Structures are given as C-alpha cells and as structure tokens.
Amino acid sequence: MSTASPTRPGGLPSPPGRPANKAAEARRPRADRRAWGAFALLAGPMLIGLGVFKYVAIGWSFLLSLSEARGTIALGHWVGLANYQTLLSAAAFRDSLLQILLFTLFIVPVTFAGSLGLALLVHRIRRGRAVLRTAFLIPAAVSYVAASLLWKMCLFNGLPSGIANMIGSWFGMSAVPWIQSTHPPLYWIVLVTMRLWLQVGFYMVLFLAGLQGIPRDVYEAAALDGATGLRLLRRITLPMLRNTSVAVLMLQFIAAFQAFDEFYNLFSSGLSGTGTAPVQTPLVYLYNTAMGDQDYGLGSAGAFVLTALIVGVTLIQGRITGFGRNEG
C-alpha cells in the first residue's frame, strides 16, 4: 500500500528530505571565510598603518614623556613625572596657556556670532544662495600657511604699500607695523581677522544645514501667533538650532586650543629679528621644545598636558550644554 507524499499548500509536493539545505549550510563557512579574507586583504593595510603610526606612536610618546629623551626618540633614563613638573613650572609654557585661553575666549564668540549671522542672512536669500554659500566656504579650503603668508606679506606687512596701511592712509593714518607692534598689540588684529576669514564660512555651512532642517510650518504657526523678527529668532530659530550650536561651539573650542600655523608663520622671525615672538601658543612652544631643542621627553609631556586640557574643556562644555544627553 503506497502512501501519498506530503504536499505543500497549493497542491505542490514537498521536496523529499533536506539535501539542498545541507549543501547550503556546507557552503556557508567557505563563503564566510572568503568574505573575511577579502575584508582582511582590503582593510588590513589600513588597520596596520593606523595601529603603527597612531596608537603605537601615542603609546611610545607617553613612554617618552616619562623618560629623559634628548636628541633621540629612544627611551632614555626613566624620570617619571619630572618632565610634567618641569613643563608646568616653566613660565613660558604657563604664559602660552594664558595667551591661548584669552585668544579662545575672544575668537570663539566672535566666530560663532559671525557664522550664525551669515547663515541667517544667506538662508533668507532665495536667489544666488548657492553662489554665496560657495563664496564664503572657499576660504575654508585655503591652507593656514598660505593665508599666514598672505596676511604677513601683503595685507599687514607694515609697509606704506601694504593693503591695511594703504586703506588707513585714506583716513589720514600713518603706516603701522602691525605684526611688530606691541604697544598697542596690533598683531591681535592680524590673528583675529585671518582666523575669521578662514573659519566663518565653514561654520556658516553647518548652521545653514541646521536652518534647513527646521520645518517651515513651525515658522508659519509662530507667525500666526504674531511672532516676528527677534522674537521669532529667540523663540523658534535658536532653540531649534541648539544641537548645531553646541557642536559648533565644541569644534571651535578644540580648533582654538590647537592653533599653531598662524602663530608660528606670522611670528617665526620674531620681533624685529630678535627671535622673541610677542605671542605663542602651547603648540608653538612644544614645537620649539621638541624640534628646536630636541627635548622629545619634555615635548611629549606637553602634548599630553595639552590633550588633557582640550579633553577637560570639551567635557565641561558638554556637561554645561548637555551635549549627547537623551532628551527623548
């Protein structure tokens, strides 16, 4: 007596046994090994380079900061925290920390306000918005070294033929040695204007992205309630831009503490060739210590001190502004 084979819904006979599934399961480990092999072949060189030139270098730099390494990057005599004590007791390093703190407290609010104002202005323009956005963003692609040389040799070179002095002569001003002037310290004008020119356009684009993410019906509802002008900006725009504003502030603080190129290239020849710059940042001080004096142990210690300072300021800012906090 024959038994009917089981059928699937729709009258189709079921396949006898599961040989196809067993064959697929047997082929899956081989396919997985090929996928992992392709991944290792493609990503392996990048991961090896990242590990050697970043993480191994960071670890080696930390060991150098705990040893006396002069003229060589080989580990020398173990000195523990002596390099950190020497660095923090150096008046020049403490002065550089104070100068970069003052620079940060001034340049961050100015850059923030300028980029936000430009973003609001460009966002209201209907025609030519892409052209304006590109025009303001182009300086962000310029090298800091090239901009420093442009500011030093053309705009604020201290000669009567310099652009800044030429414009000042139209209003009866005499030629001013902008970079060499310490009383008053006019070199801060050179530093601030250059950094604004380089960074405002980049942060403006970030604010534009945030403005474009605000629904228009929110503005329409607020307009029906009679909100216009500054009230609309204060009640709608700024609260909706909170996350973007916090991110921009964090990026600006980090960039300010990492300032190097403009300070080094503007003041590389010092005051009137004396070799003493009127202002320097911690990175400039550490560069001169590590590369000029070849004291790699002290330079490595300074790098970790500056890193700890940046991380601390970032954490404090994140704590105050609630960055990363789940608001849902």
**Residue 39 pLDDT:** 82
Buried b (16+ CB within 10 A) or exposed e, 82-91: bbbebbeeee
**Where does 76-181 show beta strands of DSSP type E?**
77-78
User: According to the per-residue pLDDT averaged within each range, which of 152-161, 191-200, 274-283 is highest?
Assistant: 191-200
Q: Which residue has the higher pLDDT, 103 or 6?
A: 103
Confidence of residue 273 (pLDDT cuts 50, 70, 90): very low
- Tell me the pLDDT of the chain averaged across its residues: 82
Identify the band that residue 192 occupies on the pLDDT scale cut at 50, 70 and 90.
very high
Lowest mean pLDDT among 203-212, 276-285, 310-319: 276-285
The pair of structure tokens assigned to 313 is 């300021």
Q: What is the pLDDT of residue 104?
A: 92
pLDDT at 265: 87
Q: What is the mean pLDDT of residues 299-311?
A: 91
Q: Judge whether 97 and 104 are in contact, CB under 8 Å.
A: no
Whether pLDDT at 24 is above 70: no
Predicted confidence band of residue 147 (pLDDT cuts 50, 70, 90): very high
Distant-in-sequence, close-in-space partners of 65: CB < 8 Å, separation ≥ 6: 83, 84, 297, 300, 301, 303, 304
The lowest-confidence range among 28-37, 114-123, 127-136, 267-276 is 267-276
106: confidence class by pLDDT, cuts 50, 70, 90:
very high
Contact predicate 295/301, CB 8 Å: no
Rounded mean pLDDT, 254-258:
90
> What integer is the mean pLDDT of 61-69?
89
CA Rg value for the chain: 30
Q: Which helix H or strand E contains 26, and what residues bound it?
A: helix 19-50
pTM of the model: 0.78
**Comparing 302 with 29, which gets the higher pLDDT?**
302
Nearest to 107 by CA among 263, 264, 229: 263
As assigned by CATH, the class of the 107-274 domain is: mainly alpha
pLDDT attached to residue 26: 55
Angstrom distance (rounded) from CA 289 to CA 261: 16
